[in-house]
Structure 1
Amino acid sequence: MQEPSLADDLHSVRITTDGVRAGVTLAGHEVSASLSGYALEHRANQPPLLVLYVRPPVDAAVFDGYAQVAVASEVPPTEAIVAFLAGIDPSRLQQAALNRDDLDGSPTELTTAMLRQLTEWAGGRP
């Protein structure tokens, strides 16, 4: 039998932001000073999930309470990658690759140019 996890329970969360800085209150405890960031995800038919990216403590713990806990992963989210690639128009990609200034005449230049173009698009560059 699996033991219950903090992530199994829901807890009161309040996030306020001015567009640059955010205030995060968890179960009545202000925790913003302990965070380097957060991600709030809400999928259909599921409760919202708040992932907290915690700063290493400087001298002592600032937060004392319960929270729904999720471990942030540096592994790229598969669903996002699949959705990004599925949304690529092949003819637009090919044309963008052929219009690049860094084509080098090698046998793999088109493939290389397409990969560079996808990398730039994934990074938000047009």
Structure 2
Amino acid sequence: MDNKDERLQKVRIAARGPQTTIELDGELVDFRAVGAYTVSQLPGEPAHVVLHLTDPADTRFDGMARVSVADMPDPGPAAAVFLAAISAEALERAALARSDLGTEPYSLTNAMLTQLGEWARGH
């Protein structure tokens, strides 16, 4: 690709802890519209920014850029693999041993969902 023939946009990403701001040619991108971003660069090439939008229907970008908009992957297949690897016995044992297990309706189900969430995050 001949970079002289394309108009590149200036991208500014400022990340400080969990707070991130993204600007395209000085225009602030709504932080709620971006679920994730990646930046890559090959030697001698301009940087390539991929924005993963939370709701592409409500987000607009004007002009040309080497900014790609990517769909977030469907979590279903990964969730199915994760759940298939769970032992029902281990889940029940862990949920019943939780200190936050209550006695109200659906307490065991809530404890199991909380436990699955913790396991999914590696806790």
Larger strand share, 1 or 2: 2
Give the TM-score taking structure 1 as reference length.
0.48
Give the TM-score taking structure 2 as reference length.
0.49
Higher relative contact order (CA 8 A, sep 6+): 1
